[in-house]
Structure 1
């Protein structure tokens, strides 16, 4: 990934619906180049999918949380690849200290939240997790 890829991803994080033409204009590269980069980033698993994100204020019933994850052995790469494919995981971070990863989770309701937690906890290589619900954004 080069600087243009990083800029492209930053724009898509802010506006996942931006047209290829708009992306090309902002990046000052051709539409074909933008499309090729998106295709490559998707094929490489950097872009795991495109989704609509609703601001917390717009969906007061959404369940949001931060999940701390400990990974055993040499499973980090495979666990990260699986986690990046879970649409309810809005962001995934590496960290230092006792935990290996921090996942930001958002679901429509508690039943979906429970499903995501059970799925993550059952992944081969996930040895331990701790989850905190986010109550109010201030």
Structure 2
């Protein structure tokens, strides 16, 4: 990836609906260049999809929570693989500090979240977890 790819991705992160002509104009390159770069980034799986971003409060049918995960010993890869297989885990981050991993969870009800937490706690290699439910998002 070069500077043009980085700028292209930044524009798409801000608005994935921008057309090729608009992207080309903003980047100061030909439309063919943008098309070729997009195809290359998709083929190399740098870009793996385009999506819609919703304000968190607009998806009121779900409970969102953050779970800090402390991994036991050197079992991070095993824990990550298990958490990636958990349907309620919509994002998983490697962190430093108190928690080894931070998982964003989404569930349809408090009871469903409880079941998710039970499943996660059974994953071998997890030493400790702490979960906080998102109440309100400011930005």
Structure 2: where are the runs of 5+ without partners? Answer: 1-9, 15-51
Which residue does the alignment assign to 2:88? 88
**Cα distance in 2 for residues equivalent to 1:72 and 1:114:** 22
Which residue does the alignment assign to 2:60? 60
Query: Are 2:81 and 1:77 aligned?
Result: no
3-state SS in 2 of match to 1:111: helix
RMSD: 4.3
Pair 1:85–1:54, CA change in 2 (3 A):
farther
Q: Normalising to structure 1: TM-score of the pair?
A: 0.61
**Cα distance in 1 for residues equivalent to 2:89 and 2:53:** 11
Deviation at 1:58, TM superposition (A): 2.7
Query: Are 2:122 and 1:122 aligned?
Result: yes
Could you list the structure 1 runs, at least 4 aligned residues long, displaced by more than 2 angstroms after superposition: 52-59
Q: Normalising to structure 2: TM-score of the pair?
A: 0.61
3-state SS in 2 of match to 1:124: coil
Q: Structure 1, residues 60-108: CA drift from partner, whole Å, max 9, x if none?
A: 2311111000011221101101111212111111111121100011111
Matched residue count: 138
Which residue does the alignment assign to 1:100? 100
Contact 2:83/2:120 (<8 A) preserved: yes
Deviation at 1:53, TM superposition (A): 8.0
Structure 1: where are the runs of 5+ without partners? Answer: 1-9, 15-51
Contact 2:57/2:136 (<8 A) preserved: no
The structure with the larger Rg is 2
